[in-house]
Chains A and B, each alone.
With several copies, the nearest count.
Chain A
């Protein structure tokens, strides 16, 4: 058991801290996330890439830092930047999903054309995967593209498309081979968002915010070379992309941060002159949640060790999303319940506590319980892949 990262990494941590101390003031505010990158964002991103704090392992020729993969350095960057409340550079699904996908499966030309401007924030991407009729069963997507005059012609609808309203481009899954089995009929295309025939409608969620969109396609034309891999290989490409996404939902660092905020709240707030922390019921709920958060934090350390040593243990990975998202919602639920009537205040109400984050997060966490594979799907996966229980038998086809 060795919980230190070693001297080399202590030095690296010092270096990161020094950087943050010197340059941290240039960091864009976190509230700007979810908007189109502006000059400040791009300048910060450029600086981060130069120092290897963003795009660390992307080759120089494509605009990255060109460093070697080093998990502990990545962890240190996360810890220090997050701890100091400093931006880790541009986000978005272009950088997190499309870039690694192109690096793995794109042509040389595609890599050269797309990666650098994406990293620099000059091209912002939206993701076109989900559809209203294809939720848990993503491979059943119905948005179609047929070829006409050397172009794919796309018709259909996507949903849950964050940043579609300001994105420059979209990577999208469409059904190009209607007669093939459902997983083999899909292609992965790249298209400009200003292509005629695209209509974007903001998708308001239960929190009242509209960070997602619905996107409608009517005879949207895309040149046939704007494809990653071959026709019908889109499902394989998408899975290559999805694997880069793992582990973000249910991250225990978020649980831990939420828990600390509830502790602070319960120390400060009183009802009938009694501090919430002095309520045995709410305190015990808090302590139970702390136990659950701790378990997930140490589970994360176990996963980090496995990643470092190339060890593969499935179960501790499989449970993160299910347990973490419910845990986060439960933490928010405690804050709401402890606040009582004050806990139901919303929007810009007088007496609002913590800017109303508890209600917003409570609902948003429910969204995360649903998104990225609902809890029902997660339990299927855990029982089948983790416990080796059989899939449900296929239903008899109706005569």
Chain B
């Protein structure tokens, strides 16, 4: 019985934390947010040097051959510093898709490139969980047409993995003929979310057309679990900043951390957040080891972390008073990342509804 990090995972956690804390300071976030691509080559190189880009890619395909929990350890740290890095799409969701549905050729073609940091992948599965603006992609005769919205990590991507309906996965190269990419500006400019309009664009099937529903679900589960880890990191940092600020800031001749009202606000945040840590561990563990629980845990961890994080975003800002509302402290980058993570790959409300169906509480 050992529920928690192994020694290796503790070391991984430390090294990734050391990296993000020293190499991705607030000033750098500020600059990168202005660019808004959700990508920075220097950060990406740094992650590559740490050997984590291929975290869940087997060694035979040039990856680190580590587990899903290792991936969420990294994602949590990226959330902790609101890092602009397309790790979620490229290093978690894309390999999950390729490993689940891809041919050996495809694995050999893409996975080593991803692990080496040479290939960045945007993921378009938004329409599987909710269709707006008549979006949706259809695959026919080797070509895809339609519209994919909210493509994760799409702005800097070299290629896209898209769901064409709920059970077909395709690969589309960036810059392919007939493909129009439009950046969708969101509150959170640390991520580059795009829309793709496809007009008979050449596409490569990943797996077979119409029979990859399980793989699509697996990618969504992976993405949701990783988003939960990201939320955990983001919220944890906000809480820490609230406490740090309260211990420094004086009003009425006392540090405000000594006021009970403010202490109770911080305690409430901490109490809500702390059990989330173990929940993210368990959900990550399930993605790899407990197939029966993987989807339920992905739903619940994503929606629960979203519900816990939203008040933390607000209350941490409140604890900072007027300063929290300014750009000066940069707190709002965390606030906004929580806002986007809450809605990506399904709002808490819609994701919980999936969990109800999954448990047979209601019909699909």
Contact = CB atoms under 8 A, between A and B. Distances in A.
A302 B4 contact: yes
A208 B327 CA distance: 8
Given A302-B281, A387-B270, A295 B304 contact: yes
Contacts of A291: 300-301, 303-304, 307, 352
A206 B332 contact: yes
Contact of A340 (B252, B253, B350, B362): B350
A374 B321 contact: yes
A5 B289 CA distance: 16
Which one of A5, A137, A140, A294 has the greatest number of beta carbons of chain B within 10 Å?
Answer: A294
B42 to A, nearest CB: 25
Interface residues of B, number: 93
Contact of B267 (A2, A277, A306, A380): A380
B320 to A, nearest CB: 8
B155 interface: no
A376 B262 contact: yes
Nearest to B363: A278
B275 A341 contact: no
Contacts, number: 283
Contacts of B274: 299, 315-316, 319
Interface stretch (B17-25, B53-61, B75-83, B340-348): B340-348
A287 B352 contact: yes
Contact of A348 (B185, B275, B285): B185
Interface of B is mostly: helix
A203 B326 contact: yes
B1 interface: yes
B5 to A, nearest CB: 8
A392 B258 contact: yes
A108 B111 CA distance: 69
A4 interface: yes
A302 to B, nearest CB: 4
Given A1-B285, A340-B347, A287 B303 contact: yes
User: Which one of B243, B271, B289, B362 has the greatest number of beta carbons of chain A within 10 Å?
Assistant: B271
A367 B270 CA distance: 23
Interface string B67-94: 1010000000000000000000000000
A305 B3 contact: yes
Interface in A12-56: none
A308 B1 contact: yes
A366 interface: yes
Nearest to A371: B322
Interface in A254-291: 263, 266-267, 270-273, 277-284, 286-288, 290-291
Interface in B253-290: 253-255, 257-268, 270-272, 274-279, 281-282, 285, 289
B130 interface: yes
Interface residues of A, number: 101
Contacts of B344: 341
B133 A132 contact: no
A271 B263 contact: no
A1 B289 contact: yes
Main SS at interface, chain A: helix
A267 B361 contact: yes
A390 B322 CA distance: 23
A283 B356 contact: yes
Contacts of B348: 337
A386 B303 contact: no
A377 to B, nearest CB: 9
A291 B305 CA distance: 9
A268 B299 CA distance: 25
B264 A283 contact: no
B263 A379 contact: yes
A4 B1 contact: yes
A351 B150 CA distance: 11
Given A287-B352, A287-B356, A379-B267, A345 B186 contact: yes
B258 A346 contact: no
A370 B270 contact: no
B267 A346 contact: no
B139 interface: no
A136 B319 CA distance: 11
B174 interface: no
Given A359-B339, A379-B268, A278 B362 contact: yes
Given A284-B349, A315-B274, A370-B317, A305 B304 contact: no
A57 B332 CA distance: 43
Interface of A: 1-6, 72, 130, 132-133, 135-137, 140, 159-160, 203-206, 208, 263, 266-267, 270-273, 277-284, 286-288, 290-292, 294-296, 298-299, 301-302, 304-306, 308-309, 315-316, 318-319, 322-323, 329, 333, 336-337, 340-351, 359, 363, 366-367, 369-371, 374-376, 378-380, 382-384, 386-393, 395
Given A295-B278, A299-B278, 7 more contacts: A2-B2, A4-B1, A160-B322, A291-B300, A319-B274, A376-B264, A390-B247
25 contacts: A1-B4, A3-B3, A135-B321, A137-B252, A203-B327, A206-B332, A287-B353, A295-B276, A295-B278, A295-B279, A295-B304, A298-B3, A319-B274, A340-B347, A343-B343, A351-B195, A359-B339, A366-B314, A366-B317, A367-B322, A382-B271, A387-B263, A389-B243, A389-B257, A390-B257
